[in-house]
A and B are shown apart, each in its own frame.
Chain A
């Protein structure tokens, strides 16, 4: 029973990632793409957690942490690029 539920939720995550990918390709503006990329990161983290439940292993927990860190930093970098045009500023004005 629980295996079927986990497989169904994995399928739903795949559909969700496909929808976010559509938003990245089509997306009218750049903030849409940034939010969709962040959503793909969160969905990947959830998929890895469910896969590690299915396979009954703890080997993927570091991968979850690294994906979380990279999704956080890349979202910040994309949004700074959209907002200011430069990712690392030479000297901030405040």
Chain B
């Protein structure tokens, strides 16, 4: 039976970008306000899941050719390698540092190495969540 879901497709085409923007905002709003890598990854994963819901598997995989297991593995590798990066400078494992830079648009900005670690966490969360949802909700076709 052919089901007419043009409203869902049209709405989700716009809403996906709103959710992605909100996920990046949550990821960058970091350690002073609510947010961070884990929550940003959750919101980014929900945007990808909405893409899968509104269309089907083959359409999304044609435009987003990622194996999300490898995305999770890349995230874990990134998060651990920032921990080992602190050993090179002679400080304990997983030590973090930060400094203030004068960027052209943003003004004086605090840049930390926590952000790289959080990027790894976000990639891990996206990969694991999409893999879980994907494997429990396939129709076996």
Interface residues of A (CB under 8 A from B): 59, 62-63, 65-66, 69-70, 72-73, 76-77, 80, 83-94
Q: How many A-B residue pairs have CB under 8 A?
A: 66
B2 and A94: CB pair below 8 A? yes
Which B positions have Cβ atoms within 8 angstroms of A? 2-3, 8, 15, 19, 22, 26, 33-35, 39, 43, 46, 49-50, 52-59, 133-134, 137-139, 141
Partner of B139, one of A59, A62, A63, A90: A90
Query: How distant is B128 from chain A, measured CB to nearest CB, in Å?
Result: 17
> Which applies to chain B's interface (DSSP): helix, strand, loop or mixed?
helix
Contact status A77-B53, CB under 8 Å:
yes
Q: Is the CB of A87 within 8 A of B53?
A: yes
Contact assessment for A76 and B2 in the assembled complex, using a CB-CB cutoff below 8 Å:
no
B residues in contact with A73, CB < 8 Å: 46, 49-50, 53
Contacts of B54 in A (CB 8 A): 76
Q: Which 3 residue pairs of A and B lie closest in terms of their CB atoms, listed nearest first?
A: A86-B139, A90-B141, A87-B137
